Structure 1
């Protein structure tokens, strides 16, 4: 038996000659069937062919007689819910949402700021955030209020976790904080634009009066916490920026700098979804799963932080 051909979101966007955001919107509306394999969403060739056929039929003049009205399509039994964020807590939330409501959660692994912008454009239903604002010293609220201006939303707390620097075992260079990243003997590995770790780094450098050009490795980019920690443990960098959990997994030492707030924002258009997310976050089962992870504090999990 030959294996069915499947495509990534990027490949579907190329085949249809549209943007990735348009593809995610079509999946969200149930017009293109999709599923997740590991950290990646896939679309089968047959599903894409059926979508194209449906679009062609919708543009052709109807040849059906008036006495034979067209049959209405069967209503969708499950809605797609797109959840964006890189933390494992969003994988746990996705699994519990699938069990709790008639929905098919689809996971995206974009950074916090990029995910929030995609939510504003209508491409995400749930977005996780850890965005530090150097002006106020707050997490998340300043960014959500600015970017989702005019949109009704609820912001719920997920976990408190330590953010800081990955360093080699034993910290041979005696790196103590962000102020040491401009030293000539220190090279970092950075995160992509739009990630919470990148925002934290940029805000901290600004507070110390350090420009990116003074930091060796500033333009060496990886796209998740574990990759950053692994670059340090493998000797390719002296320091990286991220959360404590990845340090434990990659086998690096960790220098905590700030207790960061990891939250989720949900748009209020879907009241059932908002309530379901809050119920799951408050549940003992969800908190128990989170508490088994290194460096996760669940004392405020499920609390409503802000709403419009």
Structure 2
């Protein structure tokens, strides 16, 4: 067991908790971890000591000796290292968040970015509960066609926060090559039971888009053949269309390009990030704002096909 290690997903299965809870334990320093590329890993011995501590038991004697020696050696080399980098959880699914995390790590030794790949609504709830530091959101309000701000204000009602634009991107229908059913608008879904649909998971921005548009266009869920069938990523639903398992799905343009299927644009959605305005986050906000507004960061996003017209703009503060 000495040389064995686990991923955060394996830890969540062992402890029977969510991956977000595992990230929170790591963030609070209760569970020791280290990074291998983009992946966080936890040694079996550190997991065992966490479990012993949770049960009110002391660490194994040999581990206590190892910890003491390692700490002494580390502080001897550099006494300032007892101020370890702050782990920050970046929540959301788009790859541009991975780029942001790399830029944060490159520009500052104050932070250690960790990624949580959950949808927009769940990300906001995580921030409300203190379980995420930077969250992304692309949630449309069907009545006003406004993105994100209405949801953020309601969920983070007791917090002060700042909203910055990360990117803009097209969202629409995924259809088979040639669009054989000629699907162009939401109205084309009405009473069309021959169309097989696959939905996104509850809490995702794409699911909110579907639900809001069905509501606005007075389309019942029961009219959509496959409404209750769910996949948890843009590539997941795009892949099902590509394989012919379904005829229709909703997602972003980039996944359609990767899957080699046709895309019917419906809306340009604003993909924003939110950070709580606290004294603890003051330097983090300054750093993230600087990165988003930098020419180099925008160039990297442009090369991937993102719209950076508003990138770095402060859209709302409370």
Instruction: Please report the TM-score for the alignment, with normalisation by the length of structure 1.
Output: 0.88
Q: Distance in 2 between matches of 1:272 and 1:251?
A: 42
**Kept after mapping to 1: 8 A contact 2:163/2:316:** yes
The Cα of 1:301 is off from its aligned counterpart by 0.4
**Kept after mapping to 1: 8 A contact 2:101/2:113:** yes
SS at match of 2:299: helix
Structure 2 residue runs of 5 or longer lacking an equivalent are 60-70, 76-80
- Which of residues 166, 173, 181 in structure 2 aligns to 1:158? 166
Structure 1 residue runs of 5 or longer lacking an equivalent are 60-70
How far does the alpha carbon of each residue in 1:68-111 deviate from its partner, in whole angstroms, 9 at most, with x for none?
xxx99973421101001000110000101111222111101000
The Cα of 1:303 is off from its aligned counterpart by 0.2
Question: What residue number does 1:282 align with?
Answer: 293
- Residues 68-147 of structure 1: matches in 2 within 5 Å? 75-101=82-108, 102-147=110-155
Q: Distance in 2 between matches of 1:88 and 1:19?
A: 22
- Residues 221-236 of structure 1: matches in 2 within 5 Å? 221-236=230-245
**CA 31–2 in structure 1, closer or farther in 2 if over 3 Å, else same:** closer
- Residues 263-278 of structure 1: matches in 2 within 5 Å? 263-269=272-278, 270-278=281-289
**CA 219–89 in structure 1, closer or farther in 2 if over 3 Å, else same:** same
SS at match of 1:176: coil
**Kept after mapping to 1: 8 A contact 2:238/2:256:** yes
How far does the alpha carbon of each residue in 1:256-285 deviate from its partner, in whole angstroms, 9 at most, with x for none?
001100000011221111111111111111
**Kept after mapping to 2: 8 A contact 1:120/1:147:** yes
Q: Distance in 1 between matches of 2:40 and 2:276?
A: 22
Q: Does 1:243 align with 2:214?
A: no
How far does the alpha carbon of each residue in 1:174-196 deviate from its partner, in whole angstroms, 9 at most, with x for none?
01122222312211111000000
Q: Distance in 1 between matches of 2:232 and 2:18?
A: 21
Greater shift in the superposed pair: 46-55 or 107-116: 46-55
Question: What residue number does 2:66 align with?
Answer: none
The Cα of 1:159 is off from its aligned counterpart by 1.0
**Kept after mapping to 1: 8 A contact 2:240/2:246:** yes
SS at match of 2:206: helix
SS at match of 2:265: strand
The Cα of 1:58 is off from its aligned counterpart by 7.5
Structure number with higher helix proportion: 2
Greater shift in the superposed pair: 97-106 or 45-54: 45-54
Question: What residue number does 1:63 align with?
Answer: none
Question: What residue number does 2:78 align with?
Answer: none
Q: Distance in 2 between matches of 1:17 and 1:207?
A: 39
CA RMSD of aligned residues (A): 2.5
Question: What residue number does 1:68 align with?
Answer: none
**Kept after mapping to 2: 8 A contact 1:7/1:45:** no
Greater shift in the superposed pair: 259-268 or 191-200: 259-268
Q: Distance in 2 between matches of 1:48 and 1:76?
A: 23
Greater shift in the superposed pair: 193-202 or 219-228: 219-228
Q: Distance in 1 between matches of 2:18 and 2:97?
A: 25
**CA 282–17 in structure 1, closer or farther in 2 if over 3 Å, else same:** same
